[in-house]
Structure 1
Amino acid sequence: MGMTLRIEIFPADIDASVEWWSALGFEVLGRKDDPPYASLGRDGVRIGMVQSPWRPAEHRAVPSGTEIVLAVDDVRAERDRVVAAGIELAEDLQEREWGLTDFRMRDPDGYYLRITDRRS
């Protein structure tokens, strides 16, 4: 089997994070209460969450934090689905100088997420 990717994030309110990521189409794969933990997945992407004390959003956002980049087949349809789910965009669809189109948002704890099309 080849390599896969799983990331772990540390939200202050795990229920709010699970709700937000679920609106992006992620399915809850597992939960436990002590400590508060959730595992979510969509296609080949896995996100683990461990509830942690609140930290300022700027500690999680670019350029000092992490940018989570997800590539999809139809970025415009994904953007429409995200907006219909009520998620606020940080940046709407833009064609980038490197040849990809993407949009960006922040989760409830300030993690910066970019959804982009796949390079053909």
Structure 2
Amino acid sequence: MGFEVLGRKDDPPYASVGRDEVRIGMVESPARPAEHRHVPSGTEIVLVVDEVQAERDRLVAAGIGLAEDLTDRPWGLTDVRVHDPDGYYLRITDRR
């Protein structure tokens, strides 16, 4: 998705990534089976972007499979959904 690693440390295990004005921090947690890493029992990470169509196109061009293609939601937003390589659920949505 175009993020670059900004920093890492070992104690506690932590990493941060960024792209443009977005920064995401992550801490290691105990391993969970892949089927428990995404909704409804796991984590949903929401990334709000200016151009959701452009982000969708970037994902497809990078060979990332979509869990759900662009969809207009009843709550007034459009989003695309993917699973990261570890099975976590990412929802990429436009701004209201």
Which category describes the TM-score, using the shorter chain as reference length? Answer: 0.7 to 0.9
Partner of 2:45: 68
In structure 1, runs of 5+ residues without a counterpart are 1-23
- The one-letter code of the counterpart of 1:118 is R
- Tell me the TM-score normalized by structure 2: 0.83
What TM-score, normalized to structure 1? 0.68
* Bigger helix share: 1
Picking from 78, 94, 103, the partner of 2:71 is 94
Tell me which amino acid in the other structure corresponds to 2:64. I
Q: Secondary structure at the match of 2:74?
A: coil
The secondary structure found in structure 1 opposite 2:39 is coil
What is the aligned-residue identity percentage?
A: 82
**Gaps in structure 2 of 5+ consecutive residues:** none
Q: How does 1:1-120 map to 2 (within 5 A)?
A: 24-32=1-9, 37-50=14-27, 54-119=31-96
Any idea what SS the aligned residue of 1:78 has?
helix
